[in-house]
Chains A and B, each alone.
Chain A
């Protein structure tokens, strides 16, 4: 009896959330950040990546602390509880705008990537709209479906990255790492700068998803997040080590999507050549998850801010915000690089880390918290129920009624 109950409800598991986090962190960041980090830290970039690993976890703990203080509430809801209705709503608006901007940036990144690498002849807006089509469909289907598809994507992504890494080992050149910590330890720490904004500050999106974690899994959440952060750390170190070893500092620095260029060098016996399209497919799927999460977060928070019954009416309007914004947000790729390396870090750190920290501090001082309500979850009741209430039972009844005519009773 319990078995099906557990499956039927609208919550996601802790492990599902941690897999989503993994895809989110590897999303655009895995594709673009190595370039920036290598630009600063040179051959010690992998050390910066290694330092960033624990930092990821610390930031996640901050959101987790807030989520534990206000169980079942998203950032929008506890901001209102803490700061009062109007100030809370104003803060939520900031976050909605941030999530929308983030969605636009992510969309722009993937559009740039695909436009430059695999579809040079296709207009950008076509790629943007087709990509958003998937996002809209996913957002419409709801959090549980998103989480489940994330779980499936996770396995696929890890497998493909692993295979690519294996295929590249024959070109690995250890000399590229020398000289080791040539200019002292300050350089790898400086290399942290882009990572702090991208993806670290963006993890604030997770605060929209913590309330969906099912009650039975809340206890395991910390462990799973730790695992996810560890995985992210290992993969980003692995990717940067491989980049430096295969491409070297200069080439990595020059290429806007270095992992893609790295995959171009794959050559196994002249049979498996130029398989970079598979890398493109992997990054389409990780970016898909990142965009999905930030877009869903934006619609969810906005719906809560506006006291709507469901977030679904906002999906289409927000699409028409995100797509034009993604086209307008950068002038060209040089501007994009400047933006990502210089501006984004303080911006996203303010919104992603500083404000939540202040909120937590404020909550500590005022001693505000909410008790975990048993059974019903506010988020579930108001936002996910309409999609698929435990089964198609009700829909079925009406469907069968139509098929056979009026019921004789």
Chain B
């Protein structure tokens, strides 16, 4: 019936679009349209079951309730596993059965009002007026209450079922700092943020994205801190998404990114509520997607990828040192193999003579030129790494033994690869794990090969050409309209206190100028006064 409805909507469209639409209709499992429910209960149930292909996780519990002047036919429909059945019994079925209704079967809308206002003991009860709303409610874990003779349904919330509990985040652990991480349930996640920011200014907007998955997506921001332009831009982009399914926030990330052709992540994700809260307080916007613990933050800057949550929980001097170390390691991870190839292959004069002699002695008898050596070892390492990541831990150990023994030792002993290359590749591997965010590391993994090719063909000149291209590329990137290289370029010197450096808390009195609109003052305290205070004896 829905497809008929679809066809009846005549619109002027190009032939191509029409073909495409037809194709889509055939592929679609069911496009719920805003069509009202039928007046007869039995028809509604029949239609619903046939639309769902009689799937047997849909439970239809039919009841006949005592009312004024007769029995009222009621059906409670829910998806087994999405609903807390015990709670549903207590809050819906039991109250319904225990007291007779004041209205009768001849006036179903009054019965419905009575149900809604008096009988159902659930926190949230909504009226579903059409099939679209009805299905939405059903799959979000509501129990639907349908009445005979009434063409609307009640959706009463009693979400339940098995979900993961809040536990320590796996991707970013901190020695000091909160231990809780996001989970897959959207409501739990929003609550975790609400628990951090207890302010009425923390606003939330919900959308449903994904034609089939109907995934709830939530935008959270601090009203008055987040830029309205950016917000509107984000809303437009989210509204423009038309896809069958959103299974992870990475789908959203890819679909709303400013530039699609880049190895760099232009949207940060994190699974720590404290990180998200601190970003919200800076005036950024969080995007929460149901079904994943990874929350997106926009707009993102490159330097955010070098910041770990713990930087703010440790002393500022240590944090600054660690940040610089991370940045330095990232640069090393990017260029080290290529610099080695360039130096050994093209610019041997840069190596002090004793070291050069050592290197030459080591390379004695190695059958491959240095760039091939480096390339092979890099590739081998990437393969090893991928093998370990995808395997269960028990097998993973075996792989690392084989990798370490065979590749690390035997290859060198057999004289196929020289030891310095192994050292370089191994050290590069370690540096690439220093970055606190995984997806920035991936960019370095890819670019490393590009740099390696450039270094083996044109030496240092090749490296600098690729780095210049990279510089132009990075300068061109934007995240939700905001330049990616901020606050370095365009320069916001006041924001530098929290970039590669982490200034002491008492110095970070203002929010990043580049993000927060007005309301810049974060901490209003006179440090001079604090310093001048007499120490308490």
Contacts and interface: CB of A to CB of B under 8 A. Distances in A.
B338 to A, nearest CB: 13
B244 interface: yes
Nearest to A264: B349
Interface string B510-525: 0001111100000000
Contacts, number: 175
B490 A148 contact: yes
Interface residues of B, number: 61
A7 B514 CA distance: 8
A141 B472 contact: yes
A284 B478 contact: no
A149 B240 contact: no
Interface string B17-61: 100110010000001000000000000000000000000000000
A12 to B, nearest CB: 9
Interface string B127-166: 0000000000000000000000000000000000000000
A126 B474 CA distance: 25
Interface in A378-409: 388, 390-393, 396-397, 399-401, 403-408
A178 B476 CA distance: 50
B244 A404 contact: yes
Given A4-B481, A134-B472, A405 B461 contact: no
Contact of A405 (B20, B469, B480, B483): B20
B228 A400 contact: no
A285 B468 contact: yes
A112 to B, nearest CB: 13
Interface residues on A, range: 35 or more
A130 B468 CA distance: 11
Interface of B: 17, 20-21, 24, 31, 211, 227-230, 233, 236-237, 240-244, 255-260, 346-347, 349-350, 352, 458-465, 468-469, 471-476, 478, 480-483, 485-486, 488-491, 513-517
A148 B460 contact: no
B490 A13 contact: yes
Interface stretch (A92-100, A273-281, A327-335): A273-281
Given A138-B472, A396-B256, A4 B242 contact: no
B461 A152 contact: no
Contact of A148 (B233, B347, B489, B514): B489
Interface of A: 1-5, 7-8, 13, 15-16, 114, 118-119, 122, 126-127, 130-131, 133-134, 137-138, 141-142, 145-146, 148-149, 151-153, 155, 270-271, 273-275, 277, 280-281, 284-285, 288, 388, 390-393, 396-397, 399-401, 403-408
B242 A407 contact: yes
Main secondary structure of the interface of A (DSSP, over half): helix
Nearest to A390: B481
Contacts of B458: 119, 122, 126-127, 130
14 contacts: A7-B482, A7-B490, A8-B229, A15-B491, A119-B458, A122-B458, A151-B491, A275-B350, A390-B481, A391-B258, A391-B478, A393-B233, A404-B211, A406-B242
Contacts of B486: 7
Given A122-B458, A391-B233, A406 B243 contact: no
